[in-house]
Structure 1
Amino acid sequence: MESKGRSLDQLFDVRAIRVKVANLSDCYTALGVIHEKWQPIPKEFDDYIANPKTNGYQSLHTAVLGPKERTLEVQIRTQAMHDYAELGVAAHWRYKEGNSASNQQDALNWLRQILDSKDDINQSDDAVDQFKAAVFSDRVYVLTPKGQAIELIAGATPLDFAYQIHTDLGHRCRGAKINNKIVPLTYILKNADVIEILTTKIPHPSRDWISPHLAYLKSPKSRTKVRAWFKQQDQEKNLSEGKLMLERELNRLHYQCDPETLLKISNKLNVSSINELYINIGSGDITLNQFLARLPINDKAQRAFNFSNIFLGDKNKLLKNTDNGIHVRGVGNLLTVIANCCKPAPPELIGGFITLNRGVSIHKADCTNFLHLLEQSPMRRIDVDWGIEPSCGVSVDIMLIAYDRADLLKDISSTISNERLKITNMKMAPSEQEGEMHLEFSVDINHIDQLSRLLDRLLQLPNIIEARRK
């Protein structure tokens, strides 16, 4: 008391009790019950579970005004934490894995590793790190403003918390406070965070929440709730929009698709009717690429050709395939070249056009140049696909529009590097709009999903106005 310069009234641990509970989540549940029954004393709460002491000690400490307005310190811990505090690091394994012979042997092996490495590492710090990793590897425990403990998966966000409390709360969420500070909805929750959800009166989730790339929701269960809301609210709208999207795409490809074919493709996509197919396309649950990839290849006889009449150059030089994963159906390996006009990328629907001296030119199936070429020479069309496993990436062009700032190029390069992609052919120029910059570059990708994820990440950078495929 004298060494800390405190009076007797400032000592809150004169009276103390220890509460032992069955598991980790019960620690926070008990804390909520205590804070609800007695008034907590400000600045006297310590969470040594989320932030263990250097010696590995774990417990929840709080001070409250108990019966007759007397201060009372409360310690809350599990039996394993209690034994750890009393006996040291070895006690943890007794409760972590049970009492089987194999588990006891694992504990002994772990302790031997700690002892054997005493000359190379700080034993205490290493033990704490391993202990924390074992306890918090796949769960996070957070608190409501009233002190109720909520268990979430590791990596959960405030939106996951809102949907865990109630679906309607998630739908109405517009912001969050963590420990009385406003944070973005992509904030990764930590143990013992106190969360307050900011809401609007009218439920209106965002479609961005569904995208795993944007990291608004960690839990697949939460994303399912968002999808269900859009399906319920927009069913009629999705039906008409999905039908319009599909009809427009099929007309652009000059592909006649009868109701029987539509139903067969619907079954392949695990939907039971054509209307349900339209609804899923309108809601984004099924993409046009997913539909087009399942279209049957018709009228193969009309696409037959005579190589001797088409190739005017040395045909033997064309019987070599480039290393781009393109597979020419029915005729073995041929030289293929990615068309510069559209630069298709897996798994986009593609078509081949036989050139006079450059082999097969590969286009997007809906490429304007490709369709124009087919109108002039329909017999030069050849069926191609990406093969089972493309052996290397294809180059796609990307355009960024951003407000100029310091470290803009550094942040863009870092984002692309984090996605493990390679930048080529970068050029930067000022825009006609004052303060704006246009940046164009190419990246090599193996699948269109990589491009989608990269564009999402780039749009999250400060000052980025637009990110799209050129």
Structure 2
Amino acid sequence: MLRQYELVERVKAYDPQADEDLLNRAYVFSMKAHGSQLRASGDPYFSHPIEVAGILTDLKLDYETIATGILHDTIEDTVATQEEIDRLFGPSIGRLVNGVTKLSRIETQTDSERQAENLRKFLLAMSNDIRVLLVKLADRLHNMRTLHHIGNETKRRRIARETMEIYAPLAERIGMYGFMDELNELAFLHLEPEAHNSIAARLAQLRAGGSGRVDAIGKSLRALVNAHGILADVTGREKRPYSIWRKMQGRGVSFEQLSDVIAFRLIVKDEDSCYRALGAVHGRWPMVPGKFKDFISTPKRNGYRSLHTTVVYGENARIEVQIRTQQMHDQAEYGLAAHWAYKQDGDTAVASDAYPWINDLLEVLQDAASPEELLENARMAMFQDQVFVFTPKGALHQMPRGSTPVDLAYAVHSDLGDSCVGAKVNGRVVPLRTVLANGDQVEILRGPLGHPDPAWESFVASAKARAAIRRHVRNKAQAEAQAMGGKLLDSLIKRLKVSVDADMMATALGQLMLPDQAALELAMARGTVSDSAVSEALLPGSTAGQRPRRTKRGKPGPAAVSIHGLAAGVAFELGPCCHPVPGDRIVGVRIAERPIMVHAIDCPELGHEAGEWLDVSWGEESDGAVARLAVVVHNQTGALAAMTAVLAAQRANIVNLSLKHRDREFHTDIIDIEVSNLKQLTTIIAALNNLPAVLSVERFRG
């Protein structure tokens, strides 16, 4: 563990103007706050924040960030408060410590609402000050280095998976490949220990069998570029077990079938030397087709620049070669941290300017309708490979792999996406679902009547496009519900035969616990408040003496359905996709801000529902529902009359009838009928199947 004076000396070595007194006070405060707390290793807990601060000094970050590293666990794990940190160390450090505290609660295996809320807070804190992320990455790196001290295997695996799914991709997104590689490698060791150890053992065998091979190839590369007048620092290394494992998984090959497990890096003077060195390498050894990438002319979205190529060296040995300048190398190792050092004079806005994906994530935050949607879109936006496409004016856009013209339209501007009606790729009109490839030139066609199509959601690849499409669908559904609710409210007021003034409406809204008339209209449209409740709120006593609606059979109508397993007054709907009836096995699905949706247990849509499943059953007073049948009928005179006669004889009321398909021999009718229960429906299906004109009858799902 670094001593107090050693830590201060490290900071002063690269930032002579650092506030030495503040760093000393932070060191003492953190040590006292953590007191006798111990880590799983048995070391004093205080050693952890000091090691985190040490990692941050390696990045040469400003003294406020170093102080945040020292203090980052005080609010979460001690009795220290936000107000105390603000008072003793200033609001800037207090804000950073608070941001890291909230971020530290992200967990991928916990309740989705808590996870989404912590992710939301983190993204907002990160967008305001990128140092929040830098401190947290250093915190997670030290935790992963000491993860083996935790005895609970389940906890170790949870932390490792969280690291691989959240923190390593975030490090990659800001170009900190050194952090990313180590985080992935440490997580892999705990998630797949057998695979890790097996690959490590094979690498050791390879190293023993080809002693000095890496050095020999390195000397050949150095001699080659020197002969072309290029000075280069050449280093060679074996790839890490995690990197090799990913290649094995991605290509579906064994370790023995991999030939490119050795990588070499050439650090040269300037950009011109990069291309000259590349020409020398390609002139000496044949390049493997498809393995050359120029990230200098087209940098990655995180600012990464380098030339990558793979060549065949010697007897069919493939080696990967990376060529870059020292500045490019620093960027590759430290990413954003290479720019955000003490010399940046506190310019915390660098994040959103240099990394537009952060702004895209913030748009996703605003558009997400549920915790599940926020998490899905955030992962999509952060953790995807990229393709490079061009607009007709030559503007370069980096898009997630699998993107379509719709994704590009929304990447350029939300209005362009909303008004998109078509696209041209490389001058040719193509379907909007066309997957874009590297180098495509894409022109978006727009029209005054264009609008997002809900079907786009099935093929877009970017979180921004998906969030915008879902937003449009929600807004349209809300507008339609609002209009329907307005009509329902007007109709109810007419039935009451009263003039409702502002005072009456305000009183009614108070009783119904709704903020305004718009909310009342939506509630009526969605069925979360009944007509009788609204009538009673507007005109007390207006529902006295009313009786339940009855049919000619003298029983409550088929709409009289109750569900066991739901709290009293909770709104629910029967799934329009499966049309369950009393007697079917059912399950409820809860989605935030929507009525509970009740599905038949064999409904095909259940596999696509993202909400919480509820164990429900039919109430004893349930007396009917609408069932939907698909009837294939011979195309002959009198067939429809015969079917309606059967339904009448079985006392089933036809709610709706439509023709789904028709040809010369047959037609398929979709019939909605009111039935009391599954037994009655089964009898009706059997009776219809007995008709000579009917080929088949089955429940319609969809």
Task: Output the TM-score relative to the length of structure 1.
Answer: 0.34
Return the structure number with greater strand share.
Answer: 1
Larger relative contact order (CA 8 Å, sep ≥ 6): 1
Structure number with bigger Rg:
2
Task: Output the TM-score relative to the length of structure 2.
Answer: 0.25
